[in-house]
């Protein structure tokens, strides 16, 4: 029998046929930091200027994060419905976003209130972006139109109606302020020129287009849709150069790195693939859920990925200086004699014991109330464990917010309606909590009566809330009637004859009367 010789396994990556410099470059990222958002993350956009903060659009909010922060440094929550397409201007001072209600809002990055509001779309606006001059905004909507808006006057400049299905992809030109590219679910990619007012080029992608992307030279165009990633040569009239099919599910997003213009694509198959200049996959990032959005910082320091489960995955590049600093700070651990030191020590009779004061730690909601974060304090108090095990804590936080006069604002800024309804239905008949809960119930009905019919879930909850409030009001009315009857009985005077007879009795007959 021939002897079997196992092959030698190489664990350290070296340059070769399968491992290239591009592979080693993209392997040099730390483990991802996971940040939980309020809903599926539909758009991530980095500010073009340092310090390269990035805006994350999820649910009804847009959060702005720093490169190394895990808490948002700025939040925009003035959306009544789902927000889409938060994008920075070229100077990083303005932010534009669309919404499910068809409105486009323009924000100053240092403020909270919208500076401009563009109205004209009849359906959801999924894509918004600034043109390269910074004074115009282009938007793509589900009403099959693409519109251009003037920022100073908030006036619509033009409306393009060449697509026949939803517009879900948009890429403005950085070299020409009058050019932009759109992609639609009608399987087409169009290049529009504002000077002519119509499309100058049309490409057939063959699948619903999810993302379009222009290379810095703007000679090449990338479109993604279905399982395909296609590269088009605009200098040759939109000729297809490459068609890539490396993903197993729909490719939802694409972006370019600043070093070497490497192409990155994200898909519903939970993979991020990195392509070299020959459009071969040189690296792959795995994620925990399907990918909806992705962006790379202008200096390649951060790769941010947004997923359908509302998790933001952030990867930072490793640096040699960081490794050297960690190595220099590494100290030798304590020896065994340090742990056994004082093991057999016995105090003397004349020793004086000095007691160390016990530090009092505040609860999370107390810290948030102390720092005037009323919305977060209410959100913490309405968490499942607190409202079920300690409902008195939740009610106490509500009373404190009402005392400060910030209860209404806290209710407006929280995604808490379902949790509050559970608390309300469980403890409304508890005499300890009925009065503050009835007060909050009235406020909730006043706040949400205008949007009652927009969601069937909210409508059912609010209808049940109104029924419980009505029953409680009727019960209190009946109790007040009973209380009035009892007050009348207790206040009725004792008959005078009995009072006179009791007053005429001798003193020594008092005990006999009591005995009788």
CATH of 30-317, picked from 3.40.50.150, 2.40.128.640, 2.130.10.10, 3.30.499.10, is 2.130.10.10
Q: How many CB atoms lie within 10 A of CB 253?
A: 24
Burial class (CB in 10 A: 0-12, 13-18, 19+), 14: exposed
Q: Per-residue pLDDT for 367 more than 50?
A: yes
3-state secondary structure of 149: strand
Mean pLDDT of 82-111: 94
CA atoms within 13 A on the CB side of 463: 8
151 backbone dihedrals φ, ψ, rounded to 5°: -70, -50
With a CB cutoff of 8 Å and minimum separation 6, the contacts of 509 are none
pLDDT at residue 379, as a whole number: 85
The percent of residues in the chain predicted with pLDDT above 70, rounded, is 86
pLDDT at residue 200, as a whole number: 93
Mean pLDDT of 25-40: 90
> Average pLDDT over the chain, rounded to whole?
84
Mean pLDDT lowest among 299-313, 362-376, 468-482: 468-482
And the tokens for 469? 């409030």
Mean pLDDT of 282-295: 94
Spatial distance between the Cα atoms of 20 and 278, rounded to a whole number of angstroms = 13
Spatial distance between the Cα atoms of 268 and 11, rounded to a whole number of angstroms = 31
pLDDT at residue 284, as a whole number: 93
pLDDT band at 468 (very low <50, low <70, confident <90, very high): confident
pLDDT at residue 182, as a whole number: 96
pLDDT band at 495 (very low <50, low <70, confident <90, very high): low
Q: Per-residue pLDDT for 231 more than 90?
A: yes
pLDDT tens sequence across 210-227: 999 999 999 999 999 999
- Between β-strands 179-184 and 188-193, what pairing exists: parallel, antiparallel or unpaired? antiparallel
Which residue ranges make up each domain of the chain?
A: 30-317, 366-490
pLDDT tens sequence across 234-255: 999 999 999 999 999 999 999 9
Pick the more confident residue, 25 or 306.
Answer: 306
The percent of residues in the chain predicted with pLDDT above 90, rounded, is 49
Mean pLDDT lowest among 107-111, 125-129, 146-150: 107-111
Q: Per-residue pLDDT for 405 more than 50?
A: yes
| Element spanning 22, H or E | helix 21-27
Look at residues 214, 315, 297 and name the one whose alpha carbon lies nearest to residue 46: 297
pLDDT band at 353 (very low <50, low <70, confident <90, very high): confident
Q: Per-residue pLDDT for 514 more than 50?
A: no
**pTM over the 0.75 mark:** no
Q: Per-residue pLDDT for 497 more than 80?
A: no
pLDDT at residue 13, as a whole number: 46
pLDDT band at 355 (very low <50, low <70, confident <90, very high): confident
């Amino acid at each position: 029998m021939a002897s079997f010789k196992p092959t030698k396994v190489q664990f350290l990556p070296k340059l070769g046929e399968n491992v290239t410099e591009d592979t080693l470059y993209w392997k040099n990222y730390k483990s991802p930091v996971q940040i939980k958002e309020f809903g599926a993350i539909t758009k991530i956009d980095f500010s073009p200027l340092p310090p390269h903060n990035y805006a994350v659009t999820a649910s009804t909010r847009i959060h702005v994060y720093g490169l190394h922060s895990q808490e948002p440094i700025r939040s925009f929550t003035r959306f009544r419905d789902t927000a889409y397409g938060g994008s920075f201007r070229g100077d990083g001072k303005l932010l534009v976003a669309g919404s499910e209600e068809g409105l486009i809002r323009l924000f100053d990055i240092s403020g909270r209130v919208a500076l401009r509001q563009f109205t004209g779309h009849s359906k959801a606006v999924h894509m918004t972006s600034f043109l390269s001059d910074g004074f115009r905004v282009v938007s793509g909507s589900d009403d099959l139109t693409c519109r251009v808006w003037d920022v100073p006057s908030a006036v619509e400049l033009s409306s393009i109606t060449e697509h026949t299905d939803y517009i879900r992809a948009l890429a403005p030109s950085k070299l020409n302020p009058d050019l932009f590219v759109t992609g639609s679910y009608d399987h087409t990619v169009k290049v529009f020129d504002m000077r002519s007012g119509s499309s100058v080029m049309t490409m057939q992608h063959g699948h619903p287009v999810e993302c379009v992307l222009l290379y810095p030279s703007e000679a090449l165009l990338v479109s993604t849709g279905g399982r395909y990633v296609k590269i088009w040569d605009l200098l040759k009239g939109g000729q297809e150069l490459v068609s890539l099919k490396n993903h197993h599910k729909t490719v939802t997003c694409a972006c370019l790195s600043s070093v070497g213009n490497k192409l990155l694509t994200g898909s519903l198959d939970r993979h991020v693939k990195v392509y070299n200049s020959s459009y071969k996959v040189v690296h792959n990032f795995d994620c925990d859920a399907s990918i909806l959005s992705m962006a790379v910082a202008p200096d390649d320091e951060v790769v941010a990925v947004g997923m359908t489960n509302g998790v933001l995955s952030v990867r930072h590049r490793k640096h040699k200086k960081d490794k050297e600093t960690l190595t220099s700070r590494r100290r030798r651990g304590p020896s065994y004699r340090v742990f056994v030191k004082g093991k057999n020590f016995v105090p003397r009779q004349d020793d004086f014991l000095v007691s160390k004061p016990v530090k009092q730690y505040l609860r999370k909601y107390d810290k948030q109330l102390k720092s005037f974060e009323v919305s977060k304090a209410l959100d913490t108090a309405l968490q499942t464990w607190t409202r079920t095990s300690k409902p008195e804590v939740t009610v106490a936080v509500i009373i404190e917010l009402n005392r400060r006069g910030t209860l209404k604002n806290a209710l407006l800024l929280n995604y808490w309606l379902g949790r509050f309804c559970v608390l309300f239905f469980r403890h409304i008949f508890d005499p300890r909590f009925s009065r503050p809960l009835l007060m909050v119930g009235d406020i909730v009905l006043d706040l949400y009566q205008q949007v009652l019919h927009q969601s069937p879930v909210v409508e059912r909850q609010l209808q049940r809330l109104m029924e419980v409030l009505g029953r409680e009001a009727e019960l209190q009315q009946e109790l007040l009637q009973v209380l009035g009857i009892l007050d009348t009985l207790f206040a009725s005077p004792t008959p005078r004859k009995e009072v006179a007879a009791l007053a005429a009795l001798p003193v020594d007959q008092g005990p006999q009367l009591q005995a009788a």
